[in-house]
Amino acid sequence: VEAAFAIVDAEGLDGLSMRRLAQRLGTGAASLYAHVSGRPELLQLLLDRVAAEVRVPDPEPARWQDQVREVGHALRDALLPHRDLAGAALANIPTGDNTMVFTERLLAILRAGGVPDRLAAMFIDKLPQLVVVDVYEGSLFGQRVAREPEYFAQLMAYWQALPPERFPNFAAIVGDISPMEEADGADEGEARFSFGLDLLVLGLAALAARG
């Protein structure tokens, strides 16, 4: 698992092949199958170790909405160093022990805050889903820009060149779009993530208030 993290952090998910991992451990790919059932199980082990890193606070019912936001940010911070590893979380429903502890503690915050059980049960999926897809897309975009530095400028140029007759609304808001990192280094990715988090939390609050 340690060696696998080293590869993922350096090269991303695609770089983590059974063969490359075996090579780094000074053995052959077939030997890994004595320790994991296959690549999917290896990825689950990595994800569960990431889940172990996420600190979820004890419930403070009065500020449950902010606590949910904190949990979202904590999960994002834990996933960010590992490139597109987040993508592996989309493929399987995680059942590792650390993942279950994460879910249990998130549930504690929601239920203490008065969120009905049926809503809480659906929300414990949606929050990690938002975080995972955000980190995954951000990582792939980052890798693309690293490989192809002109990509960012090309995308903006394409959007700005769209004919305003056919795309009047898009032309009107194109100035408000800034995919991921701003040129000045302001963390636009963080702002976009917080926006998504706000939608989920405010939406849940509205549904919970209706009962």
Partner DNA sequence: ACCTGAACACCGTTCAAGT
Is residue 196 within 8 Å of 64, Cβ to Cβ? no
Cβ of residue 1: shortest distance to a second copy, in angstroms?
Answer: 21
C-alpha 89/C-alpha 6 separation (Å) is 18
Write out the binding residues for DNA, residues 64-83 only, by CB under 7 A: none
Q: Applying CB under 7 A, what is the total number of residues that bind DNA?
A: 16
Complex with DNA: residue 40 or 116, whichever CB lies closer: 40
Cβ 135 vs Cβ 143: under 8 Å: no
Least Cβ distance, residue 123 to a second copy (angstroms): 8
| Shortest separation between residue 41's beta carbon and DNA, angstroms | 8
User: What is the C-alpha separation between 174 and 156, in angstroms, rounded?
Assistant: 9
Does position 47 interact with DNA (CB under 7 A)? The reply is no
Near DNA by CB under 7 A: residue from 17, 65, 98, 143? 17
SS3 148: coil
38 part of the interface to DNA, by CB under 7 A: yes
For residue 142, give the amino acid letter. G
Q: Say which entry of a second copy, DNA, none residue 166 contacts (CB below 5 to 8 A, set by partner kind).
A: a second copy
Please, are residues 146 and 91 in contact by the beta-carbon 8 Å criterion?
A: no
Interface contacts to a second copy, rule CB under 8 A: 87, 90-93, 95, 100-101, 103-104, 107-108, 111, 117-123, 125-126, 129, 133, 136-137, 140-141, 144, 155, 158, 162, 166-170, 172-173, 176-177, 179, 192, 195-196, 198-207
Query: In this chain, which of 40, 81, 114, 203 binds DNA, going by CB under 7 A?
Result: 40
Tell me the helices (H) and strands (E) count for the chain, helix number first. 10, 0
| 29 binds DNA per the rule CB under 7 A | yes
Quickly list H helices, 62-150.
64-79, 88-91, 97-112, 117-147
3-state helix, strand, coil in the chain (%, to 5): 75, 0, 25
Binding stretches for DNA (CB under 7 A): 16-20, 27-31, 33-35, 38-40
